């Protein structure tokens, strides 16, 4: 079981669009989709972040340079299209 080290995921923005919201979906399917969509994400990265939208967004921001608030919005929309 992976643990999360909060020191690895710092929010660089003054405001948090999502405050540690767990993405409600099948995490295994979502993790596969995220690794397919964002090739720089490793399975270990996503295991450490877990289904936490803010952590995933900060991870993508760090690896791709896209603002985490945009990624958080993307993640919420992505989850809406997934089967429960």
Q: 14 is written with which tokens? A: 């003054």
By C-alpha distance, which of 34, 44, 36 is closest to 8?
44
pLDDT at 30: 87
pLDDT at 21: 55
- Within 10 angstroms of residue 67's Cβ, the number of other Cβ atoms is 15
Backbone φ and ψ of 22, nearest 5°: -75, 135
The 3-state DSSP class for residue 21 equals coil
Q: What is the pLDDT along the chain (84 residues), one digit of tens a residue?
A: 433 344 444 444 434 434 445 666 788 888 999 999 999 999 999 999 988 889 999 999 999 999 999 999 999 888 888 776
By C-alpha distance, which of 37, 39, 40, 47 is closest to 3?
47
User: Where are the chain's structural domains?
Assistant: 48-84
The whole model's pTM is what? 0.69
């Amino acid at each position: 079981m992976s643990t999360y080290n909060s020191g690895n995921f710092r929010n660089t923005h003054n405001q948090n669009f999502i405050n540690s919201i767990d993405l409600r979906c099948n995490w295994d399917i979502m993790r596969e989709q995220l690794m397919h969509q964002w090739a720089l994400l490793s399975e270990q990265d996503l295991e450490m972040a877990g289904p936490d939208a803010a952590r995933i967004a900060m991870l993508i921001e760090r690896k791709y340079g896209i603002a985490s608030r945009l990624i958080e919005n993307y993640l919420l929309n992505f989850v809406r299209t997934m089967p429960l």
